[in-house]
A = this chain, B = another copy of it.
Amino acid sequence: MRSSVEEAPDHCAIEFAMEMLGGRWKLAILKQLVSGTHRFGELRRALPGITQRMLTRQLRELEADGLVTRTVYREVPPRVDYTLTEVGHSLDSITELLDTWGRWYRETVRGEALPGPRPPA
């Protein structure tokens, strides 16, 4: 019985992490950026349902937290792209695990393989 619950150092760093990464989009955005640099529009298309406003806000918060780098190219059609910083990449394994877990849970625990035709009853 080594671990009574109250041994938590301050109060579990997960709360801290979730205040930073919680919300609907943050981790999904980071996941997209694991594979490399992407433009605003690419991210937008990769995240069906997100609005321009949300994507902008989330990206700015991620930038403020030092997780992504924002690069503006002053060209004729404006171009901005986003890249994970080293700190941002420190979350790669977590986003990977969460993604895998989410897929596993959805397909195995619940029975929802893919949105679409249901298997006959």
Residues of A within 8 A of B (CB): 3-6, 8-20, 22-25, 27-28, 31-32, 35-36, 38, 42-43, 45-49, 66, 87, 90-91, 93-95, 97-106, 109, 114-115
Contacts and interface: CB of A to CB of B under 8 A. Distances in A.
Contacts of A5: 32, 35, 38, 42-43, 45-46
A6 B91 contact: no
Given A13-B103, A20-B102, A90-B105, 13 more contacts: A3-B35, A3-B36, A5-B35, A5-B43, A10-B114, A11-B48, A12-B46, A14-B28, A14-B102, A15-B24, A20-B105, A66-B109, A91-B101
A102 B20 CA distance: 9
A98 to B, nearest CB: 5
Q: How many copies does the complex hold?
A: 2
Contact of A98 (B45, B94, B99): B94
Contacts of A94: 94, 97-98, 101
